[in-house]
Amino acid sequence: MKYGLFPSRRSLRLPWVRWLYRHGLAWIGLGGGAMVLAILGVYLAQGMASVGLGWQGWLTLGVTLGAFLLNALTSLAAEVVFLGALAILFLTGILDTPTALAGFSNPGMITVAVLYIVVTGLQQTGGLDMISRTVLGMPKGQTQAMARLVLPVVGMSAFLNNTPIVAMFIPVVSDWCRKLRISPSKLMIPLSYAAIMGGMCTLIGTSTNLVVNGLLIAETDYPGLGLFDLVPVGVPCALAGILLLILAQRWLLPNRKPAITEVDDPREYTVEVVVDEGSPLAGKSVEKAGLRHLPGLYLTEIQRGDQLLTAVTPQEVLREGDQLVFVGMVSSIVDLNQIRGLKPATDQVFKLDSPREDRCLVEAVVSNTCPLVGITIREGRFRSRYGAVVLAVGRNGVRLPGKIGDIRLQPGDTLLLETHPTFLEERRASRDFYLVSGVPNSDPPRHDKAPLALGILIAMVVLATFGWMEMLNAATLAAVLMILTGCCSFQQAFRSIDWSVILVVAAALGLGKALELSGAAGTLASGVLGIAGDNPWLALALVYGITTLLTEVITNNAAAAVVFPIAFALSQSLGVSFIPFVVAIMIGASASFSTPIGYQTNLMVYGPGGYRFSDFLRIGIPFNLLFWAMTVIIAPRVYPF
């Protein structure tokens, strides 16, 4: 057995060595964080006891801790836990009615909801697919995928608002993970962390930096910080964070399926599509066109005029008019239906009365009383009878030869239909079908509006970044334009909002307000900072520690506002410069890694990644400790005491 930093291949055959190698880093991080918090807790209890926190403060702390534990240790839905905690604080009188409900009208929470609509406009026009192909590409492994995702997000977040960037990338990363066959849980937390790390590199990277800079100008005699004054501290922290993500992803990131996922479907369809005239796919190979990486979907043959290509290689170049035959699951057929430059092989689709962008995909199982049993789809005039077009037929996983119109229907056949959404209500009780169900997210994309949707997104980011509009105003304007210009319908926009995330954000804001109003947050800060003595380095470490601790349980802006006056008084009593403390507050308030409720981007990836509360603790505590150490070491050297 070799001795060194990494075990040898031979030693990895031993189960206990392999277990330590895979899980050791995570346990070291958790153990180190727990030890620091335990030491901090002893001093904190002494400080809080001397201040005399009232019953309201103790109850608020208990309820908040209980919410954390329930999230970490049980399978209860996060919105149930946080709404329950908010209800306790409301019923005990700690929060009055306006304050308890303030989170539901909070600009940050509403901004998240509105951004879902903006992203829907991008998704429905194919704009997200353009972003994915341009920025992300098709990497060959998980590490390369991580680098391709994290680096551009960090760069963008340094100058753009974090929330729209994460909102824009969540559906892109979800689809990307499906194509790469990577669990979304391996990339969703890195997406949020990259946005956080980029935001702490410049003054305009996060709203917290601007809030703290405003307090610095208004409450002290110090001039405000410049745009790039955080670079000497923020960039090294971000680079170290990226390195930790890439090196420790195997041990710290869980491998889970998303909370809302389709069960693997054994039904397979055969579907035919045609490369349209003027298609951007013409002249590209099958692999370059992205038709080889659709999970659960296989290109079986290409009909090119009188020539039939049955062994299709990834290097086969597509031509206009090629008829492609795919076999696969319905979810992958939805992806195929949204690729620009492909259209259904049947011309019946274009004879339907409703515009194609108003249609959706529906699955229907043929019953034994259906009048079309025993005759072909063409003979039965399916489109005229039902106002729907058959795109594919599934029969016991067997591929059906011939054209769709020539297939003779049998009881139990599963039909994939393109039709108007009203088909669901009209035919749900019909004796012609055993079962009728809609296919989620199957609306045909409006590819012609993709440049318009991207223009609306860019305008929103520019308006918010340069302060010409508040983020909420800019997002609302963009959402309204997405609907008015037809990039998405009102129904699609409403369905896209993840209401569970919205409820958790609103309730978490209420808990944060309770910590603030009950005096628990202020007492927490004073109790910790009271042990600093006359050592500026220790004082700086404690300022950062209490800021990052508070930002995990209340909003980052509120945490910065609570700690700022205490830290300023502390620097005055020590007779040292306040600027290192300002930098520590900015970085500490942004570096929320250990809980999903500490930063709204963490909440946004919580559901799509299928995470548990403890997942953020496992990877977040090492990140918090790393950023804590680096900020305390670097800040005083760049801005001396």
Sign of torsion, CA 577 578 582 588?
A: positive
pLDDT above 50 (res 261): no
Q: Is the pTM of this model over 0.85?
A: no
Give the pLDDT confidence score for residue 259 in this predicted structure. 43
Q: What is the DSSP letter of 133?
A: I
Give the pLDDT confidence score for residue 443 in this predicted structure. 67
CA distance 352 to 272: 18
> For residue 34, which of 632, 640, 624 has the smallest C-alpha distance?
624
Average model confidence (pLDDT) across the chain: 76
What region does 355 belong to: left with phi over 0, alpha with psi -120 to 50, or beta? beta
- pLDDT tens, position by position, 176-190: 787 777 888 888 899
Between 422 and 17, name the one with better pLDDT. Answer: 422
Lowest mean pLDDT among 307-316, 326-335, 610-619: 326-335
206 Cβ contact partners less than 8 Å away, ≥ 6 residues apart: 162, 199, 200, 556, 590
- pLDDT tens, position by position, 60-81: 878 877 876 776 677 777 778 8
CB 199 within 8 A of CB 175: no
The mean pLDDT value for 267-279 works out to 78
CA distance 457 to 56: 44
In the structure, what pLDDT confidence band is assigned to residue 321 with cuts at 50, 70 and 90? confident
CB 587 within 8 A of CB 623: no
CA dist 512 → 119, 562, 597, 625 (Å)? 28, 12, 10, 23
Tokens of 460: 């929103």
486 Cβ contact partners less than 8 Å away, ≥ 6 residues apart: 357, 446, 449
Sign of torsion, CA 310 311 312 318?
A: negative
The neighbour count for residue 8, using CB atoms within 10 Å, is 12
pLDDT above 90 (res 145): no
- 360 DSSP β-pair partners: 419
Give the pLDDT confidence score for residue 111 in this predicted structure. 72
Between 141 and 390, name the one with better pLDDT. Answer: 390
Give the pLDDT confidence score for residue 584 in this predicted structure. 92
Give the pLDDT confidence score for residue 28 in this predicted structure. 47
Q: What is the 3-state secondary structure (H, E, C) of 199-244?
A: HCCCCCCCHHHHHHHHHHHHHCCCCCCCCCCCHHHHHHHHHHHHHH
> For residue 504, which of 113, 171, 195 has the smallest C-alpha distance?
113
CB 486 within 8 A of CB 449: yes
Share of the chain above pLDDT 90, in %: 6
pLDDT above 70 (res 257): no
Phi, psi of 392 (to 5 degrees): -160, 155
Tokens of 527: 């109790």
What region does 374 belong to: left with phi over 0, alpha with psi -120 to 50, or beta? left
Between 627 and 334, name the one with better pLDDT. Answer: 627
CA distance 55 to 68: 20
- pLDDT tens, position by position, 183-212: 888 888 999 999 899 888 887 777 778 778
For residue 101, how many C-alpha atoms fall within 13 Å in the half-sphere facing its CB?
3
CA distance 59 to 335: 50
Give the pLDDT confidence score for residue 260 in this predicted structure. 41
Q: What is the 3-state secondary structure (H, E, C) of 64-125?
A: HHHHHHHHHHCCCCHHHHHHHHHHHHHHCCCCCHHHHHHHHHCHHHHHHHHHHHHHHHHHHH
pLDDT above 80 (res 523): no
- pLDDT tens, position by position, 1-51: 443 434 444 544 555 544 444 444 444 444 444 444 444 454 445 444 544
CB 225 within 8 A of CB 216: yes
In the structure, what pLDDT confidence band is assigned to residue 350 with cuts at 50, 70 and 90? low
Between 316 and 532, name the one with better pLDDT. Answer: 316
- pLDDT tens, position by position, 122-144: 777 876 666 666 777 777 777 88
Tokens of 41: 């807790």
535 Cβ contact partners less than 8 Å away, ≥ 6 residues apart: none
Between 547 and 265, name the one with better pLDDT. Answer: 547
